[in-house]
Amino acid sequence: MRVAVQSQPFDVGAEVSAFTSGVRGAGAVVSFTGLVRDEGGTLSAMEIEHYPGMTEKAISAIAEEAVGRWSLADALVIHRFGKLGPGEAIMMVATAAPHRGDAFAAAEYLMDYLKSRAPFWKKELGAGGEAWVAAKDADEDALKRW
């Protein structure tokens, strides 16, 4: 299991490839990549603030829970902070399991929990100024299915 919280960009293809070749005992690898939306061309940048220390701990706890729950062969979470441009990758998760159902479910679980339980805060910068992205009730509700 690897958790990386970093400001630098990452290469999604290289990460998935390294994750896949390093995994043992899996029949399925699922990956998800989250990108900065350009919001119809109105967004110039996104600033992501985080809580150093707590971020790594919270993500590790979420990933460990997923690994245990779906008997994953491995899991990977990379999440960036700092200033990102439209189209840049914000974060990715990858899960490896004996069968695809568990790999998909674990990836969705990771995403749902990262949304509402990992201490990141997004601010959108655009032509109209800047605004903090508000948490959605739907994101909190999504946790109830687990």
Partner 1 sequence: MIDVLYFAWVRERIGLPRERLETGAATVAELVEELRAREERYAAAFADLASLRVALDQELSSFDAPLAGVREVAFFPPMTGG
Closest CA to 122 of 46, 39, 45: 46
Sites for partner 1 among residues 26-65 (CB under 8 A): 34, 49, 51, 53-54, 57-58
Classify residue 108 as left (phi > 0), alpha (psi -120 to 50) or beta.
alpha
- Binding residue for partner 1 (CB under 8 A) from 4, 119, 125, 126? 119
Does residue 143 bind partner 1 (CB under 8 A)? no
Q: Which range, of 11-19, 64-72, 94-102, 131-139, touches partner 1 by CB under 8 A?
A: 131-139
d(Cα 60, Cα 65) in Å, to the nearest integer?
8
Structure tokens at 78: 């990379």
Q: Which is nearer to partner 1, 73 or 110 (CB)?
A: 110
User: C-beta of 127: minimal distance to partner 1 in Å?
Assistant: 21
